[in-house]
Amino acid sequence: MAELTQPQSVLFACDHNSIRSPMAEGLMKQHIGTSIFVQSAGVKGDMEIDGFAINVCREVGVELSRHRTRSFDDLMEWGDDLDSYDLIVALSPAAQRRALEYTRFYSLEVEYWQTMDPSGFGDSREAKLNQYRLVRDQITQKIKERFLPK
């Protein structure tokens, strides 16, 4: 497999920017620091940050409670041009479709990391937390594989 080049800026994207993409943004900042500019967005920005995502990230030292959800459209309205990102990492099929639309207009790479939405799983609080932990750990592993030097 060819060596992937390190981007200078990464946008993580999922459906609502309330679970997976903010987790990825926070975890990436924890593991990579400031060497790569990192943001996150959703196809929609219509939900608040998920409390279970806040809890499981806090367990590993990542603070998400101040995160404010935003959509692709919000980013563009606020002047954050998508062509300023080298890479969009899509964590859901809808985010992948939306990101690929932008490649028609902007020179950017899109990677799809298949990542489960944990919000609909688990009957008890602990079972739900365990699902969120699985997603957190999966994202952490993918970040390490993709962005940390071997």
Question: Which is nearest to 89 in space by CA: 109, 63, 66, 107?
Answer: 109
The Cα 84–Cα 124 span in angstroms is: 42
Query: pTM of the prediction?
Result: 0.93
Q: What is the pLDDT of residues 124-137, one digit of tens each?
A: 999 999 999 999 99
Q: What is the pLDDT of residues 58-100, one digit of tens each?
A: 999 999 999 999 999 998 888 777 888 999 999 999 999 999 9
Please say whether the structural domain 9-147 has been given the CATH code 3.30.43.10.
no
> Band of the pLDDT at 4, cuts 50, 70, 90?
low
Does the pLDDT of residue 120 top 90, yes or no? Answer: no
Cα dihedral: 123, 126, 129, 133 (round 10): -120
Residue 112, exposed/middle/buried by CB under 10 A (0-12, 13-18, 19+)? middle
CB atoms within 10 A of CB 133: 17
CB atoms within 10 A of CB 1: 3
